[in-house]
Amino acid sequence: MSEPDLIICGGGIAGLTAALCAVKAGLTPLVIERAEALSEVGAGLQVGANAMKVMAGLGLDDAVTAAGHTPRHLEMRDGPSGRTIFSVPAGEAGRRRWGALHVNIRRAALQQVLAAALKARAPEALRLGIEAVDYSLNPDGVTLHLADGSQMQAPAVLGADGIHSALRHRFGSGESPNYTGHTALRALVPASAELRALVPDASIAWTGPKRHAVTYYLHGRDLINFVGVVEQSEPVPEGWHTTASLEKARDAFAGFAAPVRAILEEASQARRWGLYDRPPPSRLARGPIALIGDAAAPMPPFMAQGASFAMECAWAAIWSLKATGDFTAYEQAMAVRGGRILEAARRNGRFFHGSGLAALAGYAPVRLASTLAPGRIRQRFDWIYGHDVTHGKKIK
């Protein structure tokens, strides 16, 4: 392999997307991943239309769509009653409005699509079992300091090494991640005929007092992805590997509508993990080095934009590097948008968990607007899904 133009720390969705963008740009990327094998954990995720435009720019939109499932609608429903608060058409209607489909996919399946494409286009671009622990700037770019005491050098470096990024501490925010007071429960449930008859073909947020659930189908409607978020003061470990009590999960959502209860009744196992946050760094870039994905700012799940925004950032970072030789343009473009998405996600978290009169006061205007002026509800999603980071920023 020739000397890399760019080293990417982290072989998750953000890092692999960045590597594919670099290949498209005619750069030689090297992805280093501390794990000995790529084994993306988790269950499902939503790839919004904004991120699917990045996949289209890489020629991977058909592969992602084939591996995932396109819901008919994006909805919010009152969890206990099941009443629809709003419903926004997705599918082909979403493509016409936002320029791309909205696709739900297993996290591992998305990583496999990205990894297979990188192997085909740059067979030597991924090296496993290598961990960066620090960096220093030098006249020719960046020196990475590795866990085994050795060093690597490249003209530029992208930190895509997750919420515990080893590179982040030099960007003005070295705080450890803080528990948010929310614990997530996740389950993948085979979609039986009974469930398919009961659970709508939509990405649905079921709101409720101090908790909410999200449900949607995955590939071929063979599976249903369930995520439940409950408020819990006692910290829960971060990570996807802690087994959850199905009995407690069912109790937590016992007062919810029949589709939510039925999904949990048919679940054979569940996982739980604590949701952690940390303030955004004061900088996203320092000349030839930048952060993307959770290494920059963990995105609360209440906008379903963690992976999607990371994919946008991957494109923007490589475009910036190719066009200007550093990541300054990336930082200028994405800091503002990332802050807006982050604030919207936090606002949704409060909105989803309302109760009593406060919840009714919040939901009623949205439900009324959805009925009387559905176009206005759809417009509320245009800034996020209609955004095209590739527009005017073609990577050639």
**SS3 category, 182:** strand
Whether 376 contacts 88, CB under 8 Å: no
Active site residue 217: no
Q: Classify 210 in phi/psi space as left (phi over 0), alpha (psi -120 to 50) or beta.
A: left
- Enclosing H/E stretch for 263: helix 258-266
Contacts of 5 (CB under 8 A, 6+ apart): 22, 27, 28, 29, 154, 155, 156
DSSP codes, 106-172:
EHHHHHHHHHHHHHHH-TTSEEES--EEEEEEETTEEEEEETTS-EEEES-EEE---TT-SSGGGGT
In contact, 4 and 18? CB cutoff 8 Å? no
CB atoms within 10 A of CB 330: 27
Q: What is the dihedral of CA 373, 343, 53, 316, to 10 degrees?
A: 150
Pick the catalytic residue from 135, 216, 217, 330.
216
- As annotated, the active-site residues are 216
